[in-house]
Structure 1
Amino acid sequence: MTTTLLTGLPRSGTTLICACLNTLPNCVALTEPMNVPLHGNAEQAVCEVAAFARATREGILREGFAPSMSRAGLMVDNTFEEVNHNGNLRRSAAKVADVKIEKPLTADFNLFIKHPAFFTALAQPLAENFTFYAIVRHPLAALASWQSVDFNVRQGRMPAAEAYAPALRERLDRLSAPLPRQIALMQWIFQRYRTLPPGHVLTYEALARDPAATLRPLSGSPAPVTHPIREINLQTRYPGVDFAALAQALLPIEADIEPFYPGFAASLRHLPG
């Protein structure tokens, strides 16, 4: 049996990946199903993740239900409200609830569990004990999204990660404005993912181009991904965002992003619009 843990840069498409995986045979992908422990003990947390995975797998096989972020009993591909044009921040429109798993499964089905902040903080020990993947998105697009949501990353904070990364928390505490904290947080995330094995960091852009090929290493399935992936116009998606200011803020962490996005600095010269 295979249990795969998924993490990623916030607002990079981690929930979308779960939705895509759920269209494949013998796969169940759960979006932020755990009540994340914030005690800060990494070794204990890894044991808690393992225990949760075992119990969840058994529960799915026995009862046909599993916890996941959902709306009206259905899993989602985006936990936030759709874009509005009245200047209001987008709020989370999903919550964790038991969801009926209505597909045939073998005893050794592929279980995927996704938590962005929590699993990112524990990337190294989790990758030593589980199959572990991360997803990233072009930082300018991700950073633009951070400005639009009523969520911790808009203030440059990630409590579930900071609980296990006191040096990160102290660094963020020293910064007085949201954008510098966001940049520091993004840099820390990309640095964590550089420790993962080659091929274990996926990009949103690759997923959008060819979802089946991108997810095949995770699922082992040759089946096509049937969940739709919409093209996104960043200017329309994130109205009012100052992309030029965000691009300028990202330049100091170019070296940390370049391994994932070759030519990153040059790409910032081609701003949306």
Structure 2
Amino acid sequence: MHYCFTFVCQQGELEIKALFLAASLKKFLHCDYELVAAIPSPATDWGNPREITLTLLAELGVRIVPITNWVDKQYPIGNKVACLGIETLAEKIFFLDSDMLCLQPFIPPNDWLQPIFHAKPVDLGAFTADPHFWQSVYTLFDLPLPTRRVFSSVSHELLLPYFNAGMLGIPSNTPFAQIWADSCQRILHSGIIAQRPRWLDQLALPITLAKIGMDFNCLNEYVNYPAHLKPLNPQTILCHYHKPSVIRREPALNQLILDLITQYPKLQQVIATYADWQELTQPYKITKKKGLFQAKPTIKPTAQQARPEAFITGIPRSGTSYLCRLLHKIDDCVVINEPTQIFPPLQQTFPPYQLAIYYQEIRRDVLNGQAIENKIKDGEIIEDTAILDKRESYLPTVYRPDFVLFTKNTLAYLARIQQLRYVMPHAPLITCVRHPADTIASWKSTFDHLKNARVETFPVGQLHDTALTGWQQQRLQRIAEADEVALKRVLLWCYLAECVLTAQTVLHIVHYENLVTNPIHCLKNIFQQIPHAPPLRLNPAIQPSQIRQKRDILDIRDRQLINDLCGEYAVQLGYDEWKISC
């Protein structure tokens, strides 16, 4: 026998996870293998799995073995250590965290049988990127620091060898597991870390390798995919989902759960008392449209489900909130105006995968019938957030699961155009611009960070933002050093216009003046940019309006600066008549 795949099956929710893992492996794994469910003992500490769980494991051909916690019974994660110490006739034993699923047919590559350690590096480096910390750990064991390095798979930090313990492969019948347990205990009792951190097992892995002198090979992300941190990649083979809410936001995962329940009906009984698992079997809570003949919408998750998405950005006070208000009037459009959830991912030093996940979570919550947060008043998007800037919870009405989802932010999205394109290449960036005089006039009577061009206060894209290019940092420095507020404002507009122009080939530019006077034409063009968008059903309430201007607030100095500095950018943005009277 080539392989033994083992996992923990412990009383409680881990029973559910273990059963779905076993069923998915049984469905897709094609090799010479055995499945082993390791059940922690004694029952006085860990309880006993339910009879239906044991019955299902038997139906799936899973061998059951008892294990004890070799690390510390107050450290449940330590149960996995003993899994690699079970007896097996297989050449190679792989431990899998129970909260994983196999997603497609898979034949392990031949190099998995090499008598070495196989694992994927950690997702994020966190504090373990500090070599001084690792020096204290290796010194504890009288070991030198290793010379090899790995990249963390999500944050791409350069690290000393440090692995995710969700999937581990070792040659069978070796002392690896016992040495791993001993290393965990020694680190735990040394005082160099907090009591029983959940990543204790991972800290001890490279120490174990060094003590044994075992070589390692880094697995790629597709066999231990961190779906809690990144949107699911279609090439994923083994997905590490962590919790059922992640399954619910990924239609392909949810469909697999439904398929496995159909194949093994007893799984429905297993999840019956767990609301978050039971939710995976429920249809989407969408509204049936009245008075129109149309095909019945798909109400259960499918792997083929389209998820049309887009960003709204632009130069501040150029009609982005007005556009949100128009889109809000369209059926099957959900528009989130300035969500706060976008800032942490955009402030990270690695791609903002969590922003893409935020989109998926919004769609999941809406389809589950759960309220979301937005800048609304009386059911309408707040058009001018300078006058009213508050958030309320509400539940959008949608008639189909593939509704179009927009989020809007001006400064943050403009500062991260390339990063947004990287994590969501399918989502167009709808970018609003406006005549410089009208934009700057609006700034004079609005938020302080615009009125005074306080570039050092921007949450994303501020003066010292290392993610910006050299020219962007130079422009921001010039704004910060200007000793006149009027000049700062004009320089800020020029900088933002330059951001738009340098990326214009990947942007869909919307002129405020056209949006106001011909909204239907603009909306049709926007929908044409969005892959898999449902048919656009225009609301009769969407009508042309009047262009708003506050140019009388501009003094002579403002006008001179606009005329002297904005011309080149204004013309490139389509404003041939950019000069204003002084």
Q: TM-score, normalised on structure 1?
A: 0.82
Deviation by residue 1:175-199 (Cα, 9 ceiling, x = unmatched) = 2222222122111111111112277
SS at match of 2:384: coil
Secondary structure of the residue that 2:504 maps to in structure 1?
A: coil
Residues 1:109 and 1:219: Cα distance change in structure 2 (over 3 Å): same
Structure 1 residue 205 corresponds to structure 2 residue 518: no
**Distance (Å, rounded) in 1 between the aligned partners of 2:370 and 2:543:** 25
- C-alpha contact (below 8 Å) 1:208/1:229 kept by paired residues: yes
Contact 2:312 2:430 in 1 (8 A): yes
Alignment of structure 1 residues 23-34 onto 2, 5 Å: 23-34=329-340
CA contact 2:376–2:391 (8 Å) conserved in 1: yes
The counterpart of 1:190, out of the listed 497, 501, 506, is: 497
Of the three residues 232, 245, 266, the one matched with 2:557 is 245
Q: Paired residue for 2:479, among 172, 191, 208?
A: 172
Partner secondary structure for residue 28 of structure 1: strand
Mean alpha-carbon deviation: is it higher for 156-165 or for 138-147? 156-165
| 8 Å CA contact 1:73, 1:98 repeated in 2 | no
Other-structure match for 1:88? none
Cα displacement (A) at 1:144 = 0.2
Match of 2:436 among 139, 150, 160: 139
Deviation at 1:38, TM superposition (A): 8.2
CA contact (8 A) 2:376 2:382 kept: yes
Displacement after TM superposition at 1:132 (Å)? 1.1
Give how far 1:7 is off: 0.3
Work out the CA distance in 2 between the residues paired with 1:39 and 1:214: 28
Aligned length: 253
The equivalent of 2:320 in structure 1 is: 14
* Structure 1 residues 9-63: Cα deviation after superposition (integer angstroms, max 9, x where no partner): 111110110010011121111100133238743533x212112111111111112
Match of 2:454, SS state, is coil
Distance 1:225 1:180, change over 3 A: farther
Deviation at 1:153, TM superposition (A): 0.5
Partners of 1:31 and 1:114 within 8 A in 2: yes
| Structure 1 segments unaligned to the other structure (5+ residues) | 82-92
The 1:228/1:213 distance shift into structure 2, 3 A limit, reads closer
Could you tell me how far apart the structure 1 residues matched to 2:324 and 2:308 are? 15
* Partner SS state of residue 310, structure 2: strand
The 3 A distance-change label for structure 1 pair 193 and 38 is: same
Alpha-carbon contact 2:386-2:447 (below 8 Å) kept? no
Given that 1:68 and 1:96 are in contact with CA atoms closer than 8 Å, whether structure 2 keeps it comes out as yes
Check 1:73–1:193 CA distance in 2 against 1; reply closer, same or farther (3 A cut): same
Q: TM-score, normalised by structure 2?
A: 0.40
Query: 1:155-166 residue pairs with structure 2 within 5 A?
Result: 155-158=452-455, 159-160=458-459, 161-162=461-462, 163=465, 164-165=467-468
Partner of 1:263: 576
Structure 2 Cα separation of the partners of residues 229 and 140 of structure 1: 22
Identical aligned residues as a percent: 19
Match of 1:94 among 376, 386, 389: 389
Match of 1:117 among 406, 411, 417: 411
1:225-261 Cα offsets, whole Å, 9 max, x none, are 6245642453xx465432x432321232321221112
> Is residue 66–residue 99 contact of structure 1 (8 Å, CA) maintained in 2?
yes
2:575, 2:553 → 1: CA distance? 28
Secondary structure at the counterpart of residue 200 of structure 1: strand
Q: How big is each residue's C-alpha offset from its partner over 1:51-108, in whole Å with a ceiling of 9 and x where there is no partner? A: 2111111111112422222346653122122xxxxxxxxxxx222332331x233111
Q: Residue 156 of structure 1 aligns to a residue in which SS?
A: coil
Q: Distance in 2 between matches of 1:268 and 1:151?
A: 26
1:12–1:142 Cα contact (<8 Å) kept:
yes
Distance 1:263 1:74, change over 3 A: closer
**2:356 alignment counterpart:** 50
1:229 & 1:209 partners in 2: Cα distance? 5
Q: Deviations over 1:154-189 (max 9, x none)?
A: 011241321454714433321222222212211111
Equivalent position to 2:399, from 94, 105, 119: 105
* CA offset digits 1:109-162 (Å, max 9, x no partner): 100100111101012332342321110011100100000113311011241321
Cα pair distance change 1:14/1:39, threshold 3 Å: closer
User: Using a 3 Å threshold, how does the CA distance of structure 1 residues 25 and 270 change in structure 2: closer, same or farther?
Assistant: farther
Q: Would the alpha carbon gap of residues 230 and 145 (structure 1) be closer, same or farther in structure 2, given more than 3 Å must change? A: same
- Cα RMSD of the aligned pairs, angstroms, is 2.5
Letter of the 1:212 partner, please give it: I
Distance 1:252 1:225, change over 3 A: farther
For the residues of structure 2 that align with 1:107 and 1:78, how far apart are their CA atoms? 30
Tell me the distance in 2 between the aligned counterparts of 1:10 and 1:148. 13
Distance in 2 between the 1:69 and 1:123 partners? 23
Contact conserved, 1:207 with 1:214, CA < 8 A, in 2?
Answer: yes
Distance 1:12 1:40 in 2: 24
Which residue of 2 is the match for residue 4 of structure 1?
310
Amino acid at match of 1:63: G
SS at match of 1:201: strand
- Residues 217-228 of structure 1: matches in 2 within 5 Å? 217-220=525-528, 221=536, 223-224=538-539, 226-227=541-542
